[in-house]
């Protein structure tokens, strides 16, 4: 539904809002963040706590009796012990005081526990969460998006081992509300890319070569949704092209220790025209995909459909070159 990427010292990382079911098995993660009312672990029908108990046999009321790390006095949350054979390796449970309008503050405090968890060597590569505090606590979704988004982007930028954060909402209509709230928080303009015949053809070619190169898993969320969408947004294209550029430049993992993409494009042993295409993908990707917390007025230099055709042409050419390098037919 929506994405935002950031540059870090360890490459591009992504915060992704998606429509789905956390207990369906589609969202394995190192840590599942969820919320409850302070001291209450009741299984309210329709809650994630209830769904986890019914479908996965996880009982929060039992897990709280044997906590791994207790942050409740300072961060209003606690970390479970490893859950064994489960889609979620651990739970980070945030406890919200009953009838106190402090949700944003508590979310920000709870997320400060994650760097401590990472520092202890506990895996945090992928974190998933539902809409925190918006269920039983009756918080309005739009009031919770900013602290979740800003805190998640801070963690992605500063924790080496954290690569992506999934924000999962089961209700499609509410997911759309959250997506709009994300765009508002990020200062994004509500614009779509015109699906010209050329853009449709280029996207079809890109999708085909992503699959040929076995990049589909790395590009999850793009090949199966955005590239087939009639409502294609600049940020979706930006993230995809930036990821492809990075994947191509760093296709030999041992080649570089520094993850500065611009520098490594320049150092790559490829012709100048290839570097030009890679820089185009990087620059357009940064422009459209990265976090911008202040709205920008429309200017003469805003990207047009023609600009996106140039970007997609460069991306399609790099993918084809990569296929040729691997002698894939």
User: Whole-model pTM above 0.75?
Assistant: no
* Degrees, nearest 5: CA angle 97-100-104: 90
pLDDT of 196 above 50 = yes
Strands 2-8 vs 11-19: parallel, antiparallel or unpaired: antiparallel
Rounded CA-CA distance 319/33 in Å is 36
329 vs 264: which has the higher pLDDT = 264
| pLDDT tens string 167-193 | 999 888 888 888 888 888 877 766 667
118 vs 296: which has the higher pLDDT = 118
- The CA-atom distances, in angstroms, between 314 and each of 192, 194, 212, 264 are 20, 18, 18, 18
**How confident is the model at residue 256, as a pLDDT?**
47
| pLDDT tens string 278-294 | 999 988 877 766 555 55
| pLDDT tens string 34-88 | 998 888 888 888 788 899 999 889 999 999 999 999 999 999 999 999 998 899 9
pLDDT of 309 above 70 = yes
Among 9-18, 137-146, 224-233, the range with the most confident prediction by mean pLDDT is: 9-18
- The CA-atom distances, in angstroms, between 257 and each of 11, 153, 250, 253 are 11, 23, 10, 8
- Of 20-29, 75-84, 95-104, 222-231, minimum mean pLDDT range: 222-231
pLDDT of 122 above 90 = yes
């Amino acid at each position: 539904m929506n994405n935002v990427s950031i540059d870090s010292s360890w490459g591009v990382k992504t915060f992704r809002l998606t429509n789905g079911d956390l207990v369906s098995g589609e969202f394995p993660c190192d840590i599942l963040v969820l919320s409850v009312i302070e001291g209450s672990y009741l299984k309210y029908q329709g809650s994630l706590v209830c769904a986890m108990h019914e479908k996965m046999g996880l009982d929060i009321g039992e897990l709280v009796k044997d906590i791994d790390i207790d942050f409740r006095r300072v961060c209003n949350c606690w970390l479970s012990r490893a859950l064994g054979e489960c889609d979620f390796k651990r739970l980070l449970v945030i406890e919200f005081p009953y009838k106190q309008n402090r949700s944003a503050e508590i979310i920000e405090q709870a997320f400060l526990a994650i760097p401590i968890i990472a520092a202890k060597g506990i895996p945090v590569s992928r974190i998933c969460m539902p809409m925190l505090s918006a269920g039983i606590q009756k918080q309005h979704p739009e009031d919770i998006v900013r602290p979740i988004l800003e805190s998640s982007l801070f963690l992605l930028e500063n924790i080496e081992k954290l690569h992506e954060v999934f924000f999962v909402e089961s209700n499609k209509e509410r997911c759309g509300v959250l997506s709009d709230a994300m765009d508002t928080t990020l200062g994004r303009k509500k614009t779509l890319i015109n699906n010209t015949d050329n853009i449709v053809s280029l996207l079809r070619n890109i999708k085909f070569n992503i699959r040929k190169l076995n990049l589909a898993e790395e590009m999850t969320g793009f090949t199966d949704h955005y590239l087939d969408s009639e409502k294609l947004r600049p940020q979706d294209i930006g993230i995809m092209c930036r990821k492809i550029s990075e994947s191509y430049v760093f296709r030999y993992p041992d080649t570089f220790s520094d993850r500065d993409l611009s520098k490594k494009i320049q150092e790559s042993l490829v012709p100048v025209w290839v570097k030009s295409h890679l820089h185009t993908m990087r620059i357009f990707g940064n422009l459209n995909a990265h976090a911008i917390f202040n709205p920008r007025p429309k200017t003469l230099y805003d990207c047009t459909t023609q600009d996106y055709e140039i970007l997609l042409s460069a991306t399609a050419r790099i993918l084809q070159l990569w296929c040729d390098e691997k002698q894939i037919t």
